[in-house]
Amino acid sequence: MKRGLNYILVLLWIVVLSSCRHYQYPLVLQAADSLCSVKPDSAVALLQSIADDMMLEKKHVQMRHKLLTIKANDKAYITHTSDSLILALVDYYEHGGDKAYLGEAYYYAGSTYRDLGDAPRALDYYQKALDAMPGNENLKVKSKVYAQMGDLFRYQYLYDEALKSYSASYRCDSILQDTIGLIYNLRDMGVVLWGKRRIDSTMLYFNKAHHLALKTNDSLMDNRITSQMAGLYITIDSINLAKKFIRPSLDNLDQSNISSIYAIAGDIYFKAGQIDSATNYYYELLDKGTIYAKRTANERLAQIALHHWNNPKHAIDYSLEYEVLKDSINELNAAEAMAQMNSLYNYQLREKENHELEVKNNRNQLLLLSTAIALLIVISFSVFLILRYKNRQMKSDLSLERLKQVQDKVYRESAEMLAVNNQKIKALEAELEQMRLQGENDSQKEAMKRILENENKNLEIKLHLKEDADLCMQTSLFRNKLRERVKMEDYLHEEEWKEIEEGITAIYPDFLCRLQSIGKLNQSEYRTCLLLKCHLSPSEIASLLNLTAGGVSNIRRRLSMNILHDTKGTAAWDRFILSL
């Protein structure tokens, strides 16, 4: 047994040593990792330039290079078009690679499926990334995971879930004191609240983001916030404020956001009645805007042509183009919806197949592993359990034997004394009969006979004391009181249990000592035994203990098995308690 334990300790030590393996990476990969956040294009170029050299490195270095390549491409807004590489990386880090990068691998798997339009699978990997990074580990990656999850939820109009994710990202960035991250978090939470039509809360978050952006002296970042604020002010018809907040974005154009800025500016000046300015921005949208912005621009230009230019022909042209774009957008939306449905179906189908395969593999592994583990467990614990069971059984049997001896002693001594007295009485009767025949009389012997007869009566009473005590219990006032409580469907309080113990002791003086001598009982078992001694039925006991009748039966059956070693039912235990 001791030798087997030593083997186990050696195995555990080997596992610990292997889990503490230290991975080393070339400095060039560390440099590429640093470049990913500040100059992702340079990181992409650097990683490409060392790709051939990486083929000669150890596997963990090669896999780190591949993961950094995916990371750099993601940071450089290069769309992921295949999941083959990231799935290979996930498999590597799941099954023996450097666990420090498992969460990051899951994150970029989620980003890959985000680009592939598979939102359910993306969310699944994002959640795996969070599970792989407990506590405050990898807060920077966790912040990005939560933010990406928020985007996916927001695009599906799951605003409550999106708000939770953005809030979690905000908490991570607060700990990191990442000001840029906090600005984006505040803006995104504001956008979600805007979608929920909570305008006041939206304005609060936008203002917080705006003031935080001003502190960074990053005008481009601030313009992204103020343009959103301008769009919000349009919805509440605060045109002057909308003009104020769109102006910086127009003076310092963000080419990546130009469609949104021109669309907001056009709507501001359209609502302000400055048709020429609005028209210029709508024309810009026809050239540079997204399909959604072009649709809005054609709609507004049709209205301008009809109501301000008095040019029905142009109004019709813009209206027709608006309808064409509207149909195209509807087709895109329908295609996206169908793609999402197919993605969800395929995801569920894959998950079902993966689950079935996993169950099958687990079953096979368990079959192989269980034999070895079972042998170890059986050898380690079977002897211990057997000895423990025998020890408890021995203690229980010893207590029962002592109790039986005490009971037998009482009855045996009384019976023996009764037999001795009967012999003495017979001898006295013979002597007295002989004296009467001789005409003599001995008053002393007559008195001795009466004393012995009275003592025998007392012994007979003692022998029948149990039957008398049972009769006394059945007619006692406190037992009748208990039965009244049963009718009231009310369970007993603590002070009433003390009264029951006192009542039982008055009728059966040695019962509580004998009950406690058989072993340690829990509260339910102890109180069940008290009520059994009061000659109450199981249903009455269940009512007073606030248990079911089945619960009381289980208690009696368990006690009968554990203490009396009787497996036939509850009757043996009831008889035993009544015999104490």
Model confidence over 71-109: pLDDT tens digits?
999 988 898 999 999 999 999 998 888 888 898 999 999
Res 398: pLDDT: 52
Report the distance separating Cα 193 and Cα 449, nearest Å.
Answer: 107
Res 345: pLDDT: 46
Res 339: pLDDT: 53
Question: Which of 404-408, 495-499, 573-577 is predicted with the least confidence, judged by mean pLDDT?
Answer: 404-408
Mean pLDDT on 246-257: 83
Report the distance separating Cα 247 and Cα 278, nearest Å.
Answer: 14
Question: Which of 187-201, 204-218, 340-354, 546-560 is predicted with the least confidence, judged by mean pLDDT?
Answer: 340-354
Q: Domain of 572?
A: 470-579
What does DSSP assign to residue 156?
T
Q: Is residue 189 part of a domain?
A: no
What percentage of residues in the chain have a pLDDT greater than 90? 16
Report the distance separating Cα 221 and Cα 37, nearest Å.
Answer: 16
Average pLDDT, the chain: 80
**Confidence category of residue 404, pLDDT binned at 50, 70, 90:** low
Instruction: Kindly tell me the sign of the dihedral angle through the C-alpha atoms of 37, 41, 45, 48.
Output: positive
C-alpha atoms less than 13 angstroms from C-alpha of 63 in its C-beta half-sphere = 24
Crossing angle (nearest 10°) for helices 102-115 and 59-75:
40
Report the distance separating Cα 264 and Cα 278, nearest Å.
Answer: 10
Q: Over the range 305-344, which residues count as b (16 or more CB within 10 Å of their CB) and which as e?
A: bbeeeeeeeebeebbebbeebeeeeeeeeeeeeeebeebe
Res 85: pLDDT: 92
| 338-384 pLDDT per residue, tens | 555 555 445 455 555 656 666 676 777 777 777 778 777 877 777 67
In terms of C-beta density within 10 A (0-12 exposed, 13-18 middle, 19 or more buried), how is residue 11 classed?
A: exposed
Counting the structural domains of the chain, the total is 1
pLDDT(209) > 70: yes
Q: Is residue 512 part of a domain?
A: yes
Higher pLDDT, 1 or 375: 375
pLDDT(333) > 80: no
Higher pLDDT, 107 or 449: 107
pLDDT(573) > 70: yes
Mean pLDDT on 24-51: 90
**CB contact at 8 A, 229 and 246:** no
Q: Is residue 127 part of a domain?
A: no
Output the pTM of the full model. 0.54
Mean pLDDT on 165-179: 93
Mean pLDDT on 463-471: 66
**Confidence category of residue 1, pLDDT binned at 50, 70, 90:** very low
pLDDT(449) > 80: no
Q: Is residue 560 part of a domain?
A: yes
Q: Is residue 574 part of a domain?
A: yes
Res 166: pLDDT: 94
Q: Is residue 517 part of a domain?
A: yes
Q: Is residue 500 part of a domain?
A: yes
Q: Is residue 522 part of a domain?
A: yes
3-state SS record for 110-129: HHHHHHCCCHHHHHHHHHHH
Res 169: pLDDT: 93
